[in-house]
Amino acid sequence: MRKIALGLTLLALPLAALADDDWSLFQRVTDAGRQQPMSGTYLHQMKDTLETFHIVRLGGPGSVQERRVALDGPPREIVRNGEALTCFAPDKRSLLAAKISAMRLFPALMSDDVADISQSYTLRKLGPDRVAQRDCNWIEVRARDQQRYTERICADQSTSLPLKMMTLSPRNGDVIEQYTFTQIDLTPSRDKSQLKPQYKLSNQLRGPAQPPQSADGAASHTDVAGLPSGFKMIRSIQRTLPGGNSTQLVRHMVYSDGLVMLSLFVEPIPQDMPSALRRVQSVNLHGAINMATNSQGDQMLTLVGDMPEPTLAALVRGLHIVPRP
């Protein structure tokens, strides 16, 4: 009798796992991607470039300390200390490269609000695989509207940490960008010296507890219609663009669908802009990040984000900006 009970319990375990809500699995993947302590080496591939990084992460939820070092290309380091994010490099050119590399903090995903993700994406499990000598399971997050990138993640079977990640084009399934650990240790040495940056130039991308730069109330000045369903505005500020010497104020709005973020910039059209540049234009910036611009009346609209170039171009054409009095 006892044997039967034990047998039933053993049978019930995998069943319980099956019943586990897929999105709560995704939440665990997201959490592990951000917090799981480890040290390892990963490859990052976009189009025709391939880069290698070494990452060390110590601490736990709320007190993550992390350092990633580019092993090839311009020398750069990206250090995370709790909520603070800083990049380091030996010279200005490499520092710019470091800032750009900080766009991608594999194995952390951009996603945050799982409830919001499920509005725009569906999730399915694709089966087991092996990455960096560890067993993992593939999951796929696909946009319901087929206009956004598909994300495939192979999550470690014991910790849910993403070991491999692919961004796919929604149309033909081409791989746009991918990451994979080649070597990973989930019980890293606690030696804090491995977290110490070695380059002298630095740029803090985010402070320990950065106050919001401006109130969300700014949204009341502008209404935007025409964004795909599921996108919600998370920030809206008036700002000048970095790097330029222009003092022109630009309205910068940031939207998220729970998985990716999209920036919309609205500004007056510069008077000296040739009319050829006022049409819809798009360009690939970095990996899966694209940009599209269009002019509308006397305003110039610019979209930047992790969305396919054709999607962004179509979006920027169809956006309606209605300034409110």
Partner 1 sequence: MRQSISELMDSELGENAAAQVMTAIEADASLKQAWNDYHLIGDAMRANAHVSIDVRGRVSARLKEEPTVLAPRRWHGAQRVRMAGAAALAASVSFAAVVAWQQLARPAHTAVAVNAQAQQQVALLPVSSSNADAYFLAHQELTADQGLVQVSYSRRAAH
Binding site for partner 1 (CB under 8 A): 34, 47-49, 51, 73-74, 80, 83, 85, 93-94, 96-97, 99-100, 102-103, 105, 108-113, 116, 205-206, 212, 216, 232, 234-235, 237, 239, 241-244, 250, 252, 254, 256, 261, 263, 265, 276-277, 281-286, 289, 291, 293, 302, 304-305
Q: State which residue, 36 or 256, has the beta carbon closest to partner 1.
A: 256
CA 55, 56, 59, 63 torsion-angle sign: negative
**Distances in Å between the alpha carbon of 183 and those of 21, 83, 169, 274?**
30, 26, 27, 51
Rg (CA), the chain: 22
Q: How many CB atoms lie within 10 A of CB 186?
A: 14
Q: State which residue, 212 or 297, has the beta carbon closest to partner 1.
A: 212
Least distance in angstroms from the C-beta of 105 to partner 1: 7
Q: State which residue, 150 or 263, has the beta carbon closest to partner 1.
A: 263
Least distance in angstroms from the C-beta of 24 to partner 1: 17
In one-letter notation, the amino acid at residue 10 is L
Q: State which residue, 97 or 319, has the beta carbon closest to partner 1.
A: 97
Residue 27 in contact with residue 114, Cβ under 8 Å? yes
What number of helices (H) and strands (E) belong to the chain? Answer: 5, 19
- Grouping H, G, I as helix, E, B as strand and the rest as coil, residue 65 is strand
CA pair distance 32, 159, nearest whole angstrom: 7
Q: State which residue, 127 or 217, has the beta carbon closest to partner 1.
A: 217
Least distance in angstroms from the C-beta of 10 to partner 1: 38
Residue 113 in contact with residue 128, Cβ under 8 Å? no
Least distance in angstroms from the C-beta of 120 to partner 1: 14
Least distance in angstroms from the C-beta of 4 to partner 1: 47
